[in-house]
Amino acid sequence: MAVEAIALDVHAGEVVTLLGANGAGKSTTLRAISGMVRPSAGSIVFGGTDITTLRPDEIVRAGIVHVPEGRDVFAGLSVRDNLLAGGYVHRASQHEVGAVHELFPVLRERGDQLAGSLSGGEQQMLAIGRGLMSQPKLLLLDEPTLGLAPLIIERIFDALEEINARGTTVLLVEQNANVALAASDRAYVLATGRIVLTDDSAELLGSDVLRQAYLGHAAASTGGGS
């Protein structure tokens, strides 16, 4: 999905949600911020510095970490080695490992286990934990609850609340609008590459305006041709 005419702000200490139907441009927006795709126009500014042309590893060093959709753990490495791989930029120590273990105790229990043998929920916890090993100022989370059971979703969002409480700003892409809005401060709704609605999450939660923006544009994007 091509993204155009998007202007969004994420302030330090916030949790901000990007909502929209499949193909609205949410994941593309995160990939642009993390340097995985290069914008053809416009700019991305982080902490007062233009990062638009930086490489992904330079963006990680600047303090932005992207946990993409699909978990994408190193299946042939142990849980412990996955975490250590996530901390290579800042040469993370056992202190960072311990902080992740506090957040997701199951990762301590599974430390010697191959990441590929974990359940889907455990792999998602590992993917988030690996991202936290780089000590991000801004964490980009793309569909962290996709395909997970309700109990695991609850655990993921409890962890998200704690991550934010520890001082990490979060930009979240999530299909479950109600859960995402309940966990965030503000939200943007995207449709066909554009922002069509923005407001405080509490105002949008359960509102007819959100339903019309979300479902109306979704219907328009899927009806009548390719």
Mean pLDDT of 5-17: 93
**What are the CA-CA distances from residue 105 to residues 98, 101, 164, 217 (Å)?**
9, 5, 18, 41
Tell me: the pLDDT tens digits for 161-171? 999 999 999 99
Q: Answer with the residue of higher pLDDT: 175 or 132.
A: 132
Q: What share of the chain is helix, strand, coil (3-state, %, to 5)?
A: 40, 15, 40
Per-domain residue ranges for the chain?
1-63+137-226, 73-135
Residue 217 pLDDT exceeds 60? no
**What are the CA-CA distances from residue 173 to residues 10, 36, 69, 140 (Å)?**
13, 16, 9, 8
Q: How far is CA 159 from the centre of its chain?
A: 13
* Band of pLDDT at residue 24, cut at 50, 70 and 90: confident
Contacts of 60 (CB under 8 A, 6+ apart): 89, 134, 136
Tell me: the pLDDT tens digits for 92-151? 667 789 999 999 999 999 999 999 999 999 999 999 999 999 999 999 999 999 999 999
Whether the predicted model's global pTM rises above the 0.85 cut: yes
Q: Tell me the CATH number of domain 1-63+137-226, given options 3.20.20.70, 3.40.50.300, 3.20.20.10, 3.40.710.10.
A: 3.40.50.300
